Amino acid sequence: MIRKLSTILALAEASDLTYEQIVTDVEVTLAENVAVMIITTAPGSTYNAADYEMKQLSKQFKKEFGASLLLVWK
């Protein structure tokens, strides 16, 4: 349980990598072993660094939750 929570916390920290608080909303749905995370950002914000860091956690996410992680940025 602790590893699952730490994975979620790591994703949250990665989403705010630049400390600019660009994420305004997050929705997660699970469908056939894929967790789709829809991340809404502030208008005009750049999320390339956050996207890269969050993708680095995909392997850990799959190990802990048994599902692939798909990031969708809006």
Which pLDDT score, from 0 to 100, does residue 32 have?
A: 87
Which CATH number among 3.40.1000.10, 3.30.590.20, 3.40.50.11600, 3.30.300.20 corresponds to the domain 2-73?
A: 3.30.300.20
Encoded tokens for 64? 């802990």
Q: For residue range 18-71, list pLDDT tens digits in order.
A: 999 999 999 999 988 999 999 999 999 999 999 999 999 999 999 999 999 999
Closest CA to 33 of 62, 9, 55, 6: 62
Task: Tell me the three-class secondary structure of 22-71, residue by residue.
Answer: CEEEEEEEEECCEEEEEEEECCCCCCHHHHHHHHHCHHHHHHHHCCEEEE
Per domain, the residue ranges of the chain are 2-73
Q: Model's pTM, two decimal places? A: 0.88
